[in-house]
Each structure stands twice: as C-alpha cells, then as structure tokens.
Amino acid sequence: MRNIFFPLAVAAGLIFVSAAMAQDAKPFEYAGVKTCKKCHRKVWKSWKETPMARSFEILKPGERAEIKKEAGLDPEKDYTRDTKCLPCHTTGYGKPGGFVSLEKTPTMIGVGCEACHGAGKEYNKVMKKHGRTYTEEEVQQCGLKADPRSTCTECHNEKSPTRKLRDPFDAQLHDWPAHDPVKLKYHTPEYQVNKRH
C-alpha cells in the first residue's frame, strides 16, 4: 500500500504545483511599434509601407470593395469594431497592452512588430539593459518568438473570409522578412557569442 501511496502523492503534488504556476503565469505585455522603432528605425520605415502595417485600413467602409464583395462581405460596412476581424488586423487585440479601440490605442492598429515577434515590453527591457550582448534565450524567456513565421497561419488560414480568393499561404516559403531589407547581423547567435568573449 505504501509503495502505491508515495507515487500518487508525488503526482498529485506535481499537478498542484503545475496548476499554481500556470495560474501565476501572466501573458507578456505589448509595447507598441514606437518602442521597436527606437532601435530598429530602418526596419520600421520599411514595415510601415507593407500591407501588414496598413491592414486595419481594409476594415473601413469602401476599402477593397471588390474583394469584400467576392468574399461575401458588405463593402460599405465598418468592420473596425468587429471582434472577428480585430485579432488579425490589429496588434495584441484583447491582450495586455494590446489594441483596445481606435480611440484608446491608435498605435496598435495594423499588424505591427509584436504581432509576429511577440509582446515586447519585457524583452525590450532586456535588450535595453544588455545592449547587443543579450542571448536569444534571454529574450525568448521574456516573450520574443523564436520563429515569427509560426504566427502567420493564426490569421492566414481558412477562417479568413478572403483566404479562398488567394493562393494558399505557406509561411515557410513566404518572403520573410519582407519588411526587413537590413541585415540584422547583431541579432545572430554568432554575433552574440563573439560579443560576450
């Protein structure tokens, strides 16, 4: 009996601790593109010209009317408050520091840096503190996504009303990062290792 009780007690304890840790885990908070722009100005300038940066505009009445008609949407309807559209046309909708409304969080419209790279308030602190000598592990533990392409299909999928009108989206074949003509050598593991020595 004792041989069975001990493993069961340990398993129950692990479940309790895991549940408590999961409950205490808070989602990372969004900082906004202005924060990213401070250090990544060339990338920001390039990004702001992309369809991702302007994706919120599509939700406005009259925008892309033909595509909306083809998708069975009302081209004259204002979708800027539609909770089905906002997660994919804003940054961080419904999450700490993310998009709330055009009036309250105008800097979070469009698909900004953090929509792909992860909520950045915490990893931005690490980057500021360590300059260019932080490790990938340090910033990933603070919310930076290891492979931003993993987020593409959260929106580029069959749930999108316009998805059927375009070729299938493959994040691995996508010209990534299309908004980044700058070679970010400072963010490579090789640079980080050499910088610390």
CATH (domain of 64)? 1.10.1130.10
List CB contacts of 58: < 8 A, sequence separation 6 or more.
64, 79, 89
Neighbours of 128 (CB within 10 A): 12
| 189 lies in some domain | no
pLDDT at 188 over 80: no
| 193 lies in some domain | no
The tally of domains found in the chain comes to 1
Structural domain boundaries, residue 84: 27-119+147-176
Q: What is the mean pLDDT of residues 69-84?
A: 95
What is the band of 120 on the pLDDT scale with cuts at 50, 70, 90? very high
Closest alpha carbon to 192 in 123, 179, 178, 184: 184
Query: Tens digits of per-residue pLDDT, 130-175?
Result: 877 888 888 889 999 887 777 888 888 888 888 777 656 666 555 5
Q: What is the mean pLDDT of residues 31-53?
A: 89
| 2 lies in some domain | no
- Joined together, the tokens standing for residue 156 give 């580029």
Q: What is the mean pLDDT of residues 111-140?
A: 89
- Joined together, the tokens standing for residue 74 give 């009302």
pLDDT at 105 over 90: yes
Closest alpha carbon to 190 in 118, 130, 143, 136: 136
| 64 lies in some domain | yes
pLDDT at 39 over 90: no
- Whole-Å CA distances, 18 to 11, 26, 138, 140, 142: 11, 14, 22, 21, 19
| 172 or 117, greater pLDDT | 117
Share the mean pLDDT of the chain: 79
pTM of the model: 0.74
Query: Tens digits of per-residue pLDDT, 9-23?
Result: 444 444 444 433 333
| 166 lies in some domain | yes
| 124 lies in some domain | no
| 148 or 128, greater pLDDT | 128
| 43 lies in some domain | yes
| 103 lies in some domain | yes
What is the band of 176 on the pLDDT scale with cuts at 50, 70, 90? low
